[in-house]
Structure 1
């Protein structure tokens, strides 16, 4: 994955493309092999089983069960991975700092909400997805991994998410987009890896990324 690259990973359901992004981030519960390196975080190659130490944020495939905590507020969901930065003396959470940080990212990604204190479940699916994205981006990572980033969102939000992702890449962030939605891949990706039976079987670049090419590669009918 190059700096500023938008790399797609796709395949049919059960092909293995759904697992790859979790493995890259160290979030897959099964056995994994391979190595991962993020030069901005470490000079050494890490075993895939230890990839979590690299701090690569993940926008998970299932927002409701993996992405948000329904009992928490928008601000609490957004700042979850940043609590160490928000601790005041004596180990207590600096609430004013937390609210300020949440408010900043709510504005930056365009979340429609009554405020950081609103319960996350009062938001639409698209705005909840923006909160999950903001949580990842607030960590200022060199690499971002997204699984099915536009699942369950309306067309307007889909376009906003596309714009947000493209802007991160334009600023130099490497982005991995794992999606079974060819529209996501066509709109976002400069290179796509196609997975079948747990293996990468095809790489499609630039103008060659078309819907027929993706479908044929996914189905093995090239």
Structure 2
């Protein structure tokens, strides 16, 4: 069933925050696209089409060979080779939350602040524990994590609350782009809506959001534009009110 919510598109004059050219990775065969400020851009396709590789490749997290070029225009005019994308520091909310997103032996706070530790150290290299605790508590509250406290083990949380911690970890660094893969997999209906609201707020504040999902409900609720990947290439672009479940399914299957 389609959601009644229709995402508000970014201004037509919005500037790109991410430019991707001739991206090859796994099944991808030369993908080009721009992501503009305040946009929620969906990437979808059938299993094996390559859509799920896109966020990993642009964040430098794809395990295989990657070719192409990326640029963050607001940071630099220089193009970065896609194989060096990890140097751009773009955060990823991965598809496999348990296997890739959280460290089960760590606390909620430790999972949240782990990639930010360098920023939390003093000039002598000592970790500023109070600052770390304050940052963790701030983001636990901002994203609405239900937990006994920042010191609770991450595995004591529900899947949805673990996903919020992963989201908070990515957002705490205030990146220009947030990339997500299957962002609502394994969460309940209430948490799904909370995640939608959280993602929408980031876009309203100017962040570019890249959403790779095989769930049409995610695409309908979140995206202002959707790129459909077939056989490793972008086969169709759907935007605005044209983003409907039948249009998405037909485009994915190639039966338009």
TM-score by length of 1: 0.98
Of 195, 205, 209, the residue aligned with 1:161 is 195
Q: Identify the range of structure 1 (84-93 vs 150-159) with the bigger mean alpha-carbon deviation.
A: 84-93
Of 121, 127, 143, the residue aligned with 2:161 is 127
Structure 2, unpaired ranges of 5+ = 1-34
Counterparts in 2 of 1:25-36, with a 5 A limit?
A: 25-36=59-70
Are 1:2 and 2:36 matched, yes or no? yes
**Structure 1 SS opposite 2:36:** coil
Q: Could you say which residue in structure 1 is the equivalent of 2:104?
A: 70
**Structure 2 SS opposite 1:133:** helix
Structure number with the higher strand fraction is 2
Q: Report deviation, 1:197.
A: 1.0
**Structure 1 SS opposite 2:209:** strand
Structure 1 CA distance for aligned equivalents of residues 75 and 107 of structure 2:
30
Structure 2 CA distance for aligned equivalents of residues 41 and 70 of structure 1:
35
Structure number with the higher helix fraction is 1
Of 166, 173, 178, the residue aligned with 1:144 is 178
Structure 2 CA distance for aligned equivalents of residues 203 and 51 of structure 1:
25
- Structure 1 segments, 4+ long, off by >6 Å, are none
Q: Report deviation, 1:42.
A: 2.5
Are 1:98 and 2:132 matched, yes or no? yes
Q: Report deviation, 1:89.
A: 4.9
Q: Report deviation, 1:36.
A: 0.7
Structure 1 CA distance for aligned equivalents of residues 175 and 227 of structure 2:
22
RMSD of equivalent CA atoms? 0.9
**Number of matched pairs:** 222
Structure 1, unpaired ranges of 5+ = none
Does the 8 Å CA contact 1:41/1:54 hold for their aligned counterparts? no
Are 1:177 and 2:190 matched, yes or no? no
Q: Report deviation, 1:39.
A: 2.0
Q: Report deviation, 1:100.
A: 0.6
